[in-house]
Amino acid sequence: MFKKIVIANRGEIALRVLRACKELKIKTVALHSVIDRKSKHVLLADESICIGPSKASESYFNIPSIISAAEVTNADAIHPGYGFLSENADFAEKVEKSGFVFIGPSSKIIKKIGNKISAIGIMKKIGMPCLSDFSYRLDENFQNNKKIAERIGYPIVIKPSLGGGGLAINVVQDENELQKKILLTKKESKILFQNDEVYMEKFLNNPRHIEVQVISDGKGNVICLSERDCSIQRRNQKIIEEAPVKNIKESLLRKVRKLCVQVCIELNYCGVGTFEFLYKNESMYFIEVNTRIQVEHTITEMITNFDLVKAQIKIAFGLPLDLKQEDIHIFGHSIECRINAEDSINFSPSSGKITKLHVPGGLGIRWESHIYTGYHISHHYDSMIAKLISYGESREIALLRMKNALSELIIEGVRTNINFHKKILNSDSFNYETSS
Q: Annotated active-site positions, please?
A: 292
Burial of residue 120 (CB within 10 Å: 0-12, 13-18, 19+) is: buried
- Contact assessment for residue 411 and residue 418, using Cβ atoms and an 8 Å cutoff: yes
CA distances, 96 to each of 15, 17, 76 (Å): 24, 20, 11
Residue 56 to residue 98: CA distance in whole angstroms: 23
CA distance 153 to 146: 10
Alpha-carbon dihedral of residues 354, 358, 363, 368, nearest 10 degrees?
10
Question: Which residues are paired to 386 by β-bridges?
Answer: 339, 369
Which of 243, 240, 235 lies closest to 424 in space, CA to CA? 240
- Are the C-beta atoms of residues 49 and 66 closer than 8 Å to each other? no
Number of C-alpha atoms within 13 angstroms, CB side, residue 228? 30
Q: Strand ranges (DSSP E) for 21-121?
A: 27-33, 47-52, 77-79, 101-102
Q: At what angle do helices 418-425 and 395-408 cross, to 10 degrees?
A: 150
Residue 149: which residues within 8 A CB-CB, separation 6 or more?
A: 156, 172, 175, 178, 200
